[in-house]
């Protein structure tokens, strides 16, 4: 079941990665397929990673309010001038704790989804370049066969940069991942029943989860789209570094998608860089 959840999560994530070069107009929708892969830590601070290669459906929709593309699924709730409130989302894959040395014998981690809203302040935008500050607030929810449970709140204040030229597209961001004590408790607390010689009692606290730098590069060649992603996480300033479940001060997440578009809408819409 957990392997299936992981595959579904990757399929959903990779579906949202297509490259759109800066253009005056774009098709309302595009459909295609390809292959994607990624490597991401079991959880931030872990010494081991999830690694997957899977076939990847490709879908993009460029509606006036709702969008699904390389930046994820988004819906604008409110927009005025350089200020916008929109949908924001993140999450993490499920983990069988016996597959992780630090968590062996502990409860498994379920699929975590983080749907929420973000206040977005545009600092500068022209036809090819965007600078923006994002201030999201998201509830963290676990999804399993037992249902959906709320495990805390997260945020990721960040500076976001986007630039497109010809058939190339670059996206970069820098920010701080934050979580409350309930959210960090799910990943970093060690209860009495889980104590062993190399795993001491620990109660997680709220604060900084990690600092994240992100870079993605995308290229369109004919009907083919290529995308690569690198996330660098520094945990040296994390507020739960003392947890015995912390094994690394630096984590990396890597991903790629190669896809081909087979069909697209004849209706074209104007699109601003985002």
pLDDT, tens digit (0-9, with 9 covering 90-100), for 151-200: 999 999 999 999 988 788 999 999 999 999 999 999 999 999 999 999 99
pLDDT-derived band of residue 12, with 50, 70 and 90 as boundaries?
Answer: very low
The overall average pLDDT reported for the chain is 87
Could you tell me the pTM of the whole model?
0.85
Contact 186, 109 (CB under 8 A): yes
Mean pLDDT of 111-135: 95
Mean pLDDT of 22-26: 60
State the alpha helices, DSSP H only, in the chain.
2-15, 181-188
Secondary element (H or E) of residue 191: none
Which class for 218: exposed (0-12), middle (13-18), buried (19 or more C-beta within 10 A)? buried
């Amino acid at each position: 079941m957990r392997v299936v959840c992981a595959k579904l999560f990757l399929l959903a994530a990779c579906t949202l990665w297509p490259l759109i070069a800066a253009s005056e107009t774009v098709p309302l929708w595009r459909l295609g397929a390809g292959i994607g892969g990624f490597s991401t830590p079991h959880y931030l601070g872990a010494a081991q990673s999830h690694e997957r290669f899977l076939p990847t459906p490709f879908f993009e929709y460029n509606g006036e309010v709702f969008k699904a593309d390389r930046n994820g699924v988004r819906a604008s709730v409110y927009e005025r001038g350089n200020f916008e409130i929109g949908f924001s989302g993140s999450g993490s894959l499920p983990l069988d704790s016996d597959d992780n040395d630090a968590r062996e014998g502990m409860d498994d981690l379920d699929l975590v989804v983080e749907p929420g809203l973000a206040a977005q302040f545009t600092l500068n935008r022209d036809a090819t370049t965007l600078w923006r500050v994002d201030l999201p607030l998201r509830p963290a929810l676990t999804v399993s066969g037992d249902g959906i449970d709320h495990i805390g709140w997260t945020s990721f204040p960040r500076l976001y940069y986007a630039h497109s030229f010809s058939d190339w597209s670059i996206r970069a961001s820098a920010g701080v991942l934050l979580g409350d004590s309930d959210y960090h408790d799910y990943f970093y607390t060690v209860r009495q029943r889980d104590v062993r010689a190399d795993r001491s009692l620990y109660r997680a606290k709220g604060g900084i989860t990690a600092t994240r730098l992100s870079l993605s590069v995308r290229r369109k060649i004919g009907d083919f789209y290529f995308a690569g992603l690198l996330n660098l996480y520094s945990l040296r300033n994390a507020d739960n570094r003392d947890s015995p479940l912390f094994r690394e001060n630096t984590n990396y997440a890597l991903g790629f998608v190669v896809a081909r578009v087979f069909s697209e809408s004849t209706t074209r819409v104007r699109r601003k860089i985002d």
